[in-house]
Amino acid sequence: MTDETRRPAFLDYWRAPTAETVEASAIVAAAVAFVAAGLGMLIVGGLDTIPITGWGSVAEVSAFAAAISAAIAFGIGYVVQGLPLNPAYAERTPTWARWVDALALAFTSAVLVLLLVVGLGSLLGDAFQGATLYGLTAALLAGAIAAVTSYFTYLVAAGVSASSIATLLAFFLVSGCLGSMLTASDPLWWEKNLSALGTVRDVSGYAFGITLILGGLVVTALARYIGGELRQWSTERGLDAERGIRTITGGLVLLGIFLACVGIFPVDLHFGIHNTVASGMAVVYLVIVIGLRWFLPGFPNAFLVLGYAFLGIIFVTVLFFFPFGYYNLTAVELVAAGLIFSWLIIFIRNITASTTDRRVAEVTRAVEGDPAAAPVHEYEG
């Protein structure tokens, strides 16, 4: 008896990468999260009235319950349905790297959910000062929040791609850094530089460091997915760009490692290492943007020009800092970081747009010639 005949049929249904099974799985994940978070709220708060914010509040319990649910939902969705949709990634990526990517993405999703729910709870606490909720109402609210976050997190994991990872990365970096800025014990941190947020040994400083470390790990995962999409892009055009693709993905992996190291080595404790890796990020970006024309022959000229324009803006911003002193270092860092990650997101969108155009043309030709020959593509999120 083969493994396929011994495997229960329902496993084949749930592992099938179709829109129907992905939606069904997401609903199941949401239902389980609703029950678990609701029970957790009842265990912590009981049936008595519970404040909206503060220690043991609805916002606090809901945030942790939603974060845990999101991490579990992402992990299951990624392993069960996300990886089967990306065979090229699974074949080219070592097992240990796949585990690192999965853990980094799941934990990043959890932290992002935690930040969003805590922020929402803080706003509601200010809007309804002194208000409390009955225990059952609080349990229903906590369950609903966990269900919604688990549902959407599962969908992201099941349809994971370079584009979805880049979106997750952008939201996470903005939320984490903004949270660190808002809770900074030194309100004048911006007069020094962005790295000053990580020099304080409190919640703000640790949040900044964790944000950069997790962000760096996500960038390395993103690099591997970009590599797979670039190989598909080059294959569809009959190009031999393997060396250029390896250079780009290697550079993005190095960019992620440098970003993580910026968080690992605070500037006040490891000045030399911190500045070296921070400068290294700029150098890697410079090499990729300038060399992209040769790394990927035939890539859209509009995007190449955009990359050069971004480099020009960064150069002008640096001049405004030194020697003119019009900007401070924080402004330069914010502009550079914003442009680098904007370039990365637009880069992925250009790759996706090119491959999508090819698929549309392929389907059109197949339908015009033989409707039965039209290819059927699986769920892509």
* pLDDT tens by residue, 161-207: 888 899 899 999 999 998 888 888 888 888 888 888 888 888 888 88
Mean pLDDT of the chain: 86
Q: Is 94 helix (H, G, I), strand (E, B) or coil?
A: coil
pLDDT band for position 123 (cuts 50, 70, 90): confident
CB 214 within 8 A of CB 112: no
Rounded (to 5) percent helix, strand, coil in the chain: 80, 0, 20
The pLDDT, as a whole number, for residue 238 is 82
Q: Quote the CA–CA distance of 179 and 169 in Å, as a whole number.
A: 15
CB 378 within 8 A of CB 85: yes
* H-run or E-run covering 191: none
- Evaluate if residue 3 carries a pLDDT over 70: no
Q: Quote the CA–CA distance of 378 and 381 in Å, as a whole number.
A: 9
Which candidate, 45, 100, 42, places its Cα nearest to that of 75?
100
DSSP 165-185: HHHHHHHHHHHHHHHHHHT-S
Cβ neighbors of 191 (< 8 A, separation 6 or more) are 328, 330
Query: Torsions phi, psi of 50, nearest 5?
Result: -130, 135
pLDDT digits (tens, 9 = 90+) for 312-349: 999 999 888 877 777 788 888 899 999 999 999 999 98
- Evaluate if residue 245 carries a pLDDT over 60: yes
The pLDDT, as a whole number, for residue 366 is 60
Q: Quote the CA–CA distance of 93 and 166 in Å, as a whole number.
A: 19
Mean pLDDT lowest for which of 22-26, 151-155, 280-284, 370-374? 370-374
